[in-house]
Amino acid sequence: MKTFQKIEALNNIKTNLYKKDFLLTWEKSKDDLIAIIEVAEVLKQMRELNISAKVFDSGIAVSNFRDNSTRTRFSFASASNLLGLAVQDLDETKSQIAHGETVRETANMISFMSDFIGIRDDMYLGEGNKYMREVGDALDEGFDMGVLPVRPGIVNLQCDIDHPTQSMADLTHLKNQFGSLEKLKGKKMVMSWAYSPSYGKPLSVPQGIIGLMSRFGMDIELAYPEGYELIPEVVEIAKKNSQNSGGTFKISHSIEEAMRSADIVYPKSWAPFHIMQQRTQLLKNADATGLKELEKTCLVNNANYKNWEYDKAKMKTTKNADALYMHCLPADISGVSCKEGEVNSDVFDKYRIKTYLQAGYKPYVIAAMMFTNKFKNPASVLKTLMERKQMRFGV
């Protein structure tokens, strides 16, 4: 569909995204999600056409990463710059937060000329999403009391529960790989645990995948060794989503069985829910000895499941022996980034470029989340930008 046609089609999608934070995909309507994907694709097409998407002449997007990141950090910066915003990192070790400044105070002090705050907080189970909402409450108060001229929107760049910018980028990738969101109905997608030589990977990616993909009529199979459960409430959300969308949801404990006839596979390690609960308490108590002991125990247990590697043998049992392989990256690649890991090097190399394409949607998805938060009628603004035809570079 040509760009103007895609923009016109946006007028038929009724959303509730204007001035709303994006914290969990399952808090958004299906139309909200579709609108974000459509806006993301228009923004991507505009860049390919060398048309500027700058809608801000000035302003700041605050980048608050409380955990390490490469793809999401650069995607947030790219998205902010695409729309004309400067990015300012909030380094808590170099701020008054390290001296006990409250969330309420920090949120207001960084927001005087800010339009958005992107937050990654996935280390502490039960705390990350809660923290984002505390920031939101503080911003509401600052705006209501006349302290802030605008209320900055919050984008969840990964928390303890969900990773919405990742899963939305993944859904955009699937839409383009299979031709449309409608064509995803009935496709079998396996979200599988995979072996890793590390133990503390967050739950938010697998939870984000099952929580979102179950909205679109797919047959979801969640596979993991017994004892590697996700947060039970999120699994229940995915089950209900599947029922409502006409898809199915199944839990299995054999990676070999799960991969059979799969259209899409997503082998990704995570730490069990009960382990993350223990880890969170140890982190809160600054118990370094306890953390080391927990890691040692978990790595020994992980080693019992080294066969949970996605390899050629498992790939051959998938649909046409060529299921679409997905990963949020970086993958633990056996013989490359580690001795034994999530995926065999030959299999990963076959799909490597597609995983890069998958990751490439994230800047546009984040920009779309910002765009739909800022503009009540995004189609009208996009049409104006297209008609203006201001080139991004050149004369």
Task: Specify the amino acid at residue 310.
Answer: Y
Would you identify the CATH topology of the domain 165-359?
A: Rossmann fold (3.40.50)
CATH of domain 3-162+362-388: 3.40.50.1370
CB 127: neighbour CB atoms within 10 A?
Answer: 18
Q: In what order do the strands lie in the sheet with 188-192?
A: 248-252, 219-223, 188-192, 264-267, 324-325
- Assess contact for 139 and 148: CB atoms under 8 A: yes
Q: Dihedral angle at the C-alpha atoms of 368, 373, 379, 384, nearest 10 degrees?
A: -90
Give the list of residues 6+ apart from residue 180 with CB closer than 8 angstroms, or none: none
3-state secondary structure the chain: CCHHHHHHHHCCCCCCCCCCCECCHHHCCHHHHHHHHHHHHHHHHHHHCCECCCCCCCCEEEEEECCCCCHHHHHHHHHHHHHCCEEEECCHHHCHHHHCCCHHHHHHHCCCCEEEEEEEECCCCCCHHHHHHHHHHHHHHHHHCCCCCCCCEEEEEEECCCCHHHHHHHHHHHHHHHCCCHHHCCCEEEEECCCCCCCCCCCHHHHHHHHHHHHHCCEEEEECCCCCCCCHHHHHHHHHHHHHHCCEEEEECCHHHHHCCCCEEEECCCCCHHHHHHHHHHHHCCCHHHHHHHHHHHHHHHHHHCCCCECHHHHCCCHHHCCEECCCCCCCEECCCECCCCEEHHHHHHHHHHHHHHHCCHHHHHHHHHHHHHCCCHHHHHHHHHHHCCECCCC
Residue the block writes with tokens 């490469």: 70
With 0-12 CB in 10 A as exposed, 13-18 as middle and 19+ as buried, what is 143?
middle
Taking the C-alpha atoms of residue 342 and residue 206, their distance in angstroms, rounded to an integer, is 14
- Assess contact for 245 and 217: CB atoms under 8 A: yes
CATH 3.40.50.1370 domain extents, the chain: 3-162+362-388, 165-359
Taking the C-alpha atoms of residue 310 and residue 314, their distance in angstroms, rounded to an integer, is 6
Taking the C-alpha atoms of residue 394 and residue 378, their distance in angstroms, rounded to an integer, is 26
Q: What does residue 89 show for φ and ψ, rounded to 5 degrees?
A: -75, 135
What the block records as the tokens of 345 is: 């090097």
pLDDT at 1: 58
- Assess contact for 155 and 118: CB atoms under 8 A: yes
Task: Specify the amino acid at residue 127.
Answer: E
pLDDT at 99: 52
Q: How far is CA 216 from CA 31, 174, 209, 377, in A?
A: 11, 11, 11, 25
**Is the omega angle on the peptide bond into residue 330 within 30 degrees of 0, that is, cis?**
yes
pLDDT at 95: 62
Nearest to 200 by CA among 299, 334, 301: 299
Taking the C-alpha atoms of residue 314 and residue 126, their distance in angstroms, rounded to an integer, is 35
> What are the mean pLDDT values of the chain's consecutive 10-residue runs (395 residues total)?
90 97 98 98 97 97 91 97 97 64 92 97 93 97 97 98 98 98 98 94 97 98 98 98 98 98 98 95 94 95 97 98 98 97 98 98 98 98 96 87
What is the pTM for the complete model shown? 0.96
With 0-12 CB in 10 A as exposed, 13-18 as middle and 19+ as buried, what is 315?
buried
Nearest to 236 by CA among 253, 254, 217, 214: 214
